[in-house]
A and B are shown apart, each in its own frame.
Chain A
Amino acid sequence: MECYLDNSATTRVLEEAAELAKSVMLKDYGNPSSLHNMGFNAEKYIKKADEIFAGILKCSPKNIIFTSGGTESNNTAIIGTAIFKKSRGRHLITTPFEHPAVSRVMKFLEGQGFEVDYLDVDPEGFIDLEQLEDLIREDTILVSLMHVNNEIGTVEPISEAGEIIHKKNPDCLFHVDDIQGFGKLPLNPKACHIDLLSASSHKLHGPKGVGLLYMSDRTHISPIIFGGGQMQGLRSGTENVPGIAGFSKAAEMIFDGLDEKILNMRTLREGFIEELKKIPDVFINGPKDPAKAAPHIVSASVKDVRAEVLLHALEDKGIYVSSGSACSSNRKTVSESLKAIGAPDWAHESTVRFSFSCFTVKEELDYTISVLNEIIPQLRKFVRR
């Protein structure tokens, strides 16, 4: 049996999305900037995608630009804001466990003379809203928060944070990295006072190499990629029409009946966690209250088993998961999320992430549990003495 439980890394592209992308590549391959019919036909796919995402995000098509993916969306949002607003202020706020596509950008800006404050998080991974309020200053130009933590699945209080930012400093922009949440949990940018929101196609069964950046009406940022002036001048470069078409098709299908899909994933997740907890010395990271956790991420620390060994042992049985950190004798990477929530040292080397999609079924999880029950005791027999 093959169980792909690494959907937070990437997902299988939906047949319909792949077909659409293929037909755009083979038939409607014109450049949307061309004046002739071929160009016009290609442009239609982008218009259509604009409308689909405007519907999903409850905004106008002009609030959306397409990018090469989540990393570019995050870079554009943060660096674009910093450049545009640097004369008004040089202070930014974020969390200590953002994805590198945010945290490395922050580090870069710190090197450029910007000041970055990092919020504390509690052992379940929630940010401290009071601290957020305290940290916002007159010269704070951007707050950047992730919606769903990619490693432990904590869902941050985005709506409350938006409210606080809006009240304390109305000029401060609010960026949300929604790459793990998009298509897994609904989020209304306008209602949450979000100014910038990043999403990626390949995390919700669309093709790789495409993403989007939502921008509220009042948001002005500088482009970071210059050229032919596509995407309202904010993201030059010939549009990835097949990718955008495929992304929009996938989103259309995933968001259709999303509430029911979420409910399903939650049920599966809770049952899975229930079974995991029965295995001795297995600990679940993230929120205790399942309602405050993403419906698709389970982070489990398995005592006395190295994550990478477990990963390869599972792989041998057709089960694919992620390990928080790469294990190697000469280089150790530490999980920022586990560090931030104060996980014990052993957990850094022994944590795996199972991530579902709306297509995950109970049989796969049952099989995974039975395999875990079989291999964990075997692997535990051999620990470093």
Chain B
Amino acid sequence: MFQAYLIKYGEIGVKGKNRYVFEDALVTQIRSNLRRIQGEFKVSKINGRIFVHTLSEYDYDQMIDILTHIFGIVGVCPVQVIQDHTIEGIRNAAVDYVRNNYEEKDFSFKVDTRRPNKAYPLTSMEVDAQVGEAVLGAFPSLHVDVHNPEVLIHIELRREDIYIYSKEIKGPGGMPVGTNGKALLLLSGGIDSPVAGYMVAKRGVHIDAVYFHAPPYTSERAKQKVIDLAKIVSRYAGIIYLHIINFTDIQLYIYDKCPHDELTIIMRRYMMKIAQTIAERNECLGLITGESIGQVASQTMKSLFATDDACTIPVYRPLIGFDKQEIIDRSKQIGAYETSILPYEDCCTIFVAKHPVTKPNLNIIKKSELNLTEKIDAMVEEALAADEIVIVGKDY
């Protein structure tokens, strides 16, 4: 069992004077996400590095799962703490470490010692030699390669503890969530939007989400599916406030008053308007959608132009240049695909024209929207007032 984890982070290191802001955000994020699992942990910044110390029993797989889902982390090294600080103790511990962690003992290695505790009686070079000799003595099938070792055994001599580690598990990279403000994700039950949320969260953006629910045309199961998808995104992005807006009346009103082939575009425009209001009320600096150019009728350049016109807030579309297959691959990679393809999609097909416009003319759309003047503002207000908020991602 490992007693500590060394957290390696990438881009944060180059953020100059703001570096501490990013490091602190990462520490906060790690602390917060570790609350989802059983065990007591201490997360600290020591000499410009972040460590998680375990203070109780815990589950290794859960720990790795949590840490490898936190943006900003490029690698996680499980660390063993050496109790006996004498050179004999370090030698024995290193032999045990190799015995327990490597089944096949036929690799090349190198020992690399760091010595922050300058009072330690041996120099780092001397420790390298001592440990190398001990490991080689115990496992003659290994060999030393100081230029291109297959395994790099790190020894770290600290005042309080001595560490040994050699393995690094890849993290997701990116920036700690919360270092780049907040944005509102338009989450549907599909494949694209969770991936879009993931990608923006990866750049350090905190995510809120909105889902447009249309009972009885969409079912409770469809809503649960969206909550489940938000939960999958939250494993990376931290806690998500999911706003659920009942959109049925607005949809039916548009259906009643506007030309049918413009329905989808007008609906999407109202979704953007409502999303903008939610964003403004919750300090979100932008909207995120899963659109990609040309995927469906409502995502042609002209359609996007018409949708974009409905709001003034920036709209981020991280999948804009992706092919469907690329999005599917990403979705599988983040673990959302299986949920995304559950067949509770919707019964909303009545709202989709058999031949929707693919090249909407904004002036014509706006003219059609004049038919809605009588009631639409009140209906939007009503929908916003009935906003149901589900907080997702507190538990493992």
Contacts and interface: CB of A to CB of B under 8 A. Distances in A.
Nearest to B354: A384
B24 interface: no
B294 interface: no
Contacts of A331: 343
Interface stretch (B53-61, B109-117, B141-149, B345-353): B345-353
A384 to B, nearest CB: 4
A244 B181 CA distance: 60
B140 interface: no
Contact of B350 (A316, A326, A328, A382): A382
Contacts of A310: 216
A382 B253 CA distance: 10
A328 B252 contact: no
User: Which of B252, B348, B350 counts the most A-chain CB atoms under 10 A from its CB?
Assistant: B350
A331 B344 CA distance: 9
A368 B350 CA distance: 25
Contacts of B220: 312
Contacts of A306: 347, 350
A208 B347 CA distance: 31
A interface bracket (residues with beta carbon within 8 Å of B): 20 to 34
Contacts of A381: 252, 256
Interface string B254-298: 011000100000000000000000000000000000000000000
B219 interface: yes
A327 interface: yes
B335 interface: no
Nearest to B346: A329
A299 B2 CA distance: 63
B172 interface: no
User: Which of B216, B219, B220 counts the most A-chain CB atoms under 10 A from its CB?
Assistant: B216
Interface of A: 306, 308-313, 315-316, 326-331, 381-385
Given A306-B347, A329-B345, 8 more contacts: A309-B347, A327-B347, A328-B344, A329-B346, A329-B349, A384-B349, A384-B350, A385-B260
30 contacts: A306-B347, A308-B219, A309-B347, A310-B216, A311-B216, A312-B215, A312-B216, A312-B217, A312-B347, A313-B216, A315-B216, A316-B215, A326-B343, A328-B344, A328-B345, A329-B345, A329-B346, A330-B341, A330-B345, A331-B343, A381-B252, A382-B252, A382-B255, A382-B350, A383-B350, A384-B350, A384-B352, A384-B354, A385-B260, A385-B353
* In the complex, the 7 A-B pairs of residues with the closest C-beta atoms, listed nearest first: A312-B216, A313-B216, A328-B343, A384-B350, A385-B260, A331-B343, A329-B345
